């Protein structure tokens, strides 16, 4: 069965999470998430497919796109059932994680450059010694 995009209408009947009604909120939300076939995304049981590259082009976009659609649908459903105060809390968490991800990527790129230069220099030095010996 195909995944149906969740809308705010699908979760309008669920009392908004207010910090005190977690059990009831979670139960009702998960009924909708399961019905719309996106609960495995939320639980982390269905992982986003890794891109497969061939000559710099993603060859499995048809596998990735449905996962992205389901993830978006789940986020719409969840955010539609949160009071604004709790939505704001998610934003406060998401920004540092995004920034951390960018910083980690920058640091990784710097380390890769250092390793490449070290390898390049070592290859030149080793090559020179091999020629002498």
Per-residue pLDDT of the chain (133 residues; tens, 9 = 90+): 456 688 888 999 999 999 899 999 999 999 999 999 999 998 989 999 999 999 989 999 999 999 999 998 998 899 899 998 888 777 665 555 455 555 555 555 566 565 555 555 554 555 544 444 4
Angle separating helix axes 61-79 and 22-35, nearest 10 degrees: 150
Domain extent at residue 54: 8-82
Query: Given this model, what pLDDT does residue 92 score?
Result: 62
Q: Which residues, listed in sequence order, are joined to residue 110 by a DSSP beta bridge? A: none
Q: What share of the chain is helix, strand, coil (3-state, %, to 5)?
A: 70, 5, 25
Kindly state the tokens that stand for 39.
């609960």
Residue 99, domain member (yes or no): no
Number of domains in the chain: 1
Residue 56, domain member (yes or no): yes
Residue 127, domain member (yes or no): no
Residue 51, domain member (yes or no): yes
Residue 45, domain member (yes or no): yes
Kindly state the tokens that stand for 71.
């993830």
Cα–Cα distance between 126 and 132 in angstroms, integer?
10
Q: Using the 8-state DSSP alphabet, how is residue 1 labeled? A: -
Q: Which residues, listed in sequence order, are joined to residue 55 by a DSSP beta bridge? A: none
Residue 116, domain member (yes or no): no
Q: Residue 112 CA to chain centroid, in angstroms?
A: 24
The SS3 assignment for 42 reads helix
Residue 90, domain member (yes or no): no
Query: Given this model, what pLDDT does residue 113 score?
Result: 61
Residue 110, domain member (yes or no): no
């Amino acid at each position: 069965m195909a995944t149906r995009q969740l809308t705010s209408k699908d979760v309008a009947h669920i009392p908004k999470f207010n910090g005190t009604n977690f059990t009831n909120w979670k139960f009702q939300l998960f009924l909708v998430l399961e019905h719309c076939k996106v609960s495995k995304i939320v639980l982390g049981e269905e992982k986003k497919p890794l891109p497969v590259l061939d000559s710099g082009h993603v060859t499995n976009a048809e596998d990735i796109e449905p996962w992205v659609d389901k993830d978006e649908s789940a986020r719409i459903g969840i955010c539609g059932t949160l009071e604004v105060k709790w939505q704001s809390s998610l934003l406060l968490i998401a920004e540092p994680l995004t920034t951390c991800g960018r910083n980690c990527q920058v640091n990784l790129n710097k380390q890769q450059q250092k390793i490449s230069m070290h390898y390049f220099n070592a290859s030149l030095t080793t090559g020179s010694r091999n020629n002498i010996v």
